[in-house]
Structure 1
Amino acid sequence: MIRPKLSLRRPLAILGAALIGLTGVVAVATPASAHHTTISATADCDRLTGERVITWKVENSETNKDATLQRVTTDPGTPVTALVEGAKADVPLQGFVINQGTFVEAVQRVPGDTTTANLEVYAEWLKDGKSTAEHTAKGSIGLAADASCAPAPKCVEVDKAKYSHTFDGPKGTATVKLDGDLPLCGEGKQWFTLVSYFAPRPQFATPQYVYGTPDSNWIGGTQTEIDLKVEIPDCHTQVDLIWGGKDEVIDELVDGGKRYDNKKLGSAGAPGNRSEGPQGWYNGGNKNCTTPASTFASNCDGSVAVSLSNDGKISKYAVEFEVKAENGFTKKVSVAAGKADNSIIVPAADAGKIEVLVDGKVVENGTYSWQRPEDCPLPAVTTKADCKNFTLTATNPEGGLPVKATFTYSGKTETRTVAAGASETVTFKAGKDKTALVALPDLDLELEAIYTPEGNCGGGGAGGEEPGLPVTGAAAGGIAAGAVALLIAGAVLFVIARRRRVTFTA
């Protein structure tokens, strides 16, 4: 028979910090005699094991006799161990002696889903080794059904894990972190991916094409945080932080096609809403993902040929060009990626200042005005003279523009407009002046003709001399440079002085 010391209130250290108190309701049996025991109980929950821990308190009501617990019955039938300070091993409650006027505390562990526990003890009071009284006491504790006791988790299941994230779309960076202190269970892994796109607009628009290589990584085991980074195109872009690996990446976002929807982290719905942080998507960029370009070529007839190209290093889309001229001409042309269009001719009548626009903005080097090409054929002037008249004729070659011609002789001036492929003639009465001037202001040319009549006009003329081409002043070099064609009729001498200025506009 065991007679321990009376100090039985040692701390319940064996339960650890995981115990959460749950006070029970105890029913106590009515004593059958003057000798009796009473039973009360409290209950805690051990979150490490998921068991309920009941502490039974059995009290000896007698103040002059010791009680021996001869029989102990429990429901559930798990062991009940007396709490004895200094004991090196568990002390069974059965056979335990409760000193007079004291009590014993005992612990019983029951399954976590237990709703009621019962303890029955049969006690004897002995004197001189003989029984003087006996008593059976019963105690019961009810455990609230809604306060279930389950073991604390050691990990979090992949499909229940929560995360937090950061996201910087313009820089193409993001981080994802597992929330809480528990790792994912087992070999579970959760993948996340950061991807960037070429985009046609700085707002969401299609089609979009993956740029570079998406960055993908997973969280699992001891890896509870990841960093992701992608390159951003130097043009309009979209960047997405998505739930899943590279197999979730949509290579082309097209009209009516697949979308990430709630797979984007920070979305309102699952699974994206399982990560807390900013919206994991970005649209921006400050220029087109194309390289539209234009070149111009002036024609002799005043028209301008416009060439459009879309073949830059980052061209991904067809480009919608608009060619406009200040005199009313306008035309829109779509040029596919990597292609060119050389079919646009702005007529002479509509030319003026020409602009090439994309999205309402003039492209680089996209402004031009017609300039006369160097190789266009020049008008020619022929003369015919006798003693009474001095006739000058200006001829404009076909394929050119109409030109204005001003004829001046002996103080008189006549002006004509010479159409392409046509001629204009002016006749002056012969005078004392030996030269006439033909000015072509549209071409910045001046032609000087010498009056040399046919035959002998009273001996004062220059008839009979061989024709020549004397050139005055600084115009001599211009003749050679411009390759001015002179047509000579009969013995008439024609002299040309040329001055020309050409300005090119980029």
Structure 2
Amino acid sequence: MIRPKLSPRRPLALIGATLVGVAAATAFAAPASAHHSIVSGTACKLESGDLSVEWTVKNSESDLAGKITEVWTPSATEIVGIAAGAELPKSTDGELKGQQVVKAGKKPVLKISAEWWRGERHITNTARGVAVLSGDCAPTSTPTPEPTSPEPSESPEPSQSPEATPSPSTPEETTSPEPSTSPSEEPSSPAPSTPAPTTPVPTSPAPTPQPSEPTGPLVPEEPNAPVFEIIFACDALAVTADNPADGVTATIVFTTDKGATKELKLVPGKKTEVVFEAYEGLTITPSFPGEKPDPADAVAWEKPADCAPGAGGGKGDGPTLPLTGAATGGIVAGAAVLLAAGVALFVVARRRKVRFTA
């Protein structure tokens, strides 16, 4: 399969979607990490018209296990093997697999919300996957039970008993019906032991209770799309880009409310970032080099609630110094990783003039 190369315009759509979402409120001393789950599936069509789907959920992290918090599918049928509360193993330790029967007419879609705890940082993410239909399911051959009637045919041994019992003086005993009736009665008894044929083809499942559809930013569905994360710290606002090895090469310019600019380089196979010193009223707006920033795409820095008085750009209660470096590890307010959704969002934003609001 030839994978189309990511459009250079795609990253701006991704970062625009990221900027208007929920950003990570975490200590800047710890490096950002784009924790996410990877959902994929294969499906085949049953004779009933339903789809038999095998789902796979992988962890992006090789050193940290996650936990599934929500499972949602339009079919509202149970996914055996994948449920809320299940552990999402480290990528080096395996993956989650689940089986589901999707009712005819429903889309084979799965949304997974997961969480990770990296020290004091609480990271959440929602990922979406669509199963690929491979065709009709292979016919399942119903095993034909072996007839058990031959067994009684071997049991006429009792009929030989007259050879051992004939008395020299009484030949009538050989005509005794008792030995001959026992074999004739035995063939009727195996009938109940004949197993009824089982039909492994699943029937239409009944809907099972499930939570409402998870909302929020999704992981880009294209494997070569960069993943962005925004971090609100007490003294800084940072934007990171985790670009896959087959990702696009591009540059995104961020312009502050004071006109200062910084460039975020997208380099295939590398993770890059830009950092702005936080102050009251700070906003950053993404654009491509040579283009005028669109104020509708701007995002404002918000001071985390747990910052110490005087930290960062907030108004202090005294002459206290801002916390920096490792000390900021104690003011973590929690993290929400932002993984942008992609081309569809970009098309809507550019062609339909939709404005994103935080």
Using CA pairs under 8 Å that are at least 6 residues apart, name the structure with larger relative contact order, 1 or 2: 2
Larger radius of gyration: 1
Identify, as 1 or 2, the structure richer in strand: 1
Scaled to the shorter chain, the TM-score interval is under 0.3
TM-score relative to the length of structure 2: 0.24
Q: TM-score, normalised by structure 1?
A: 0.18
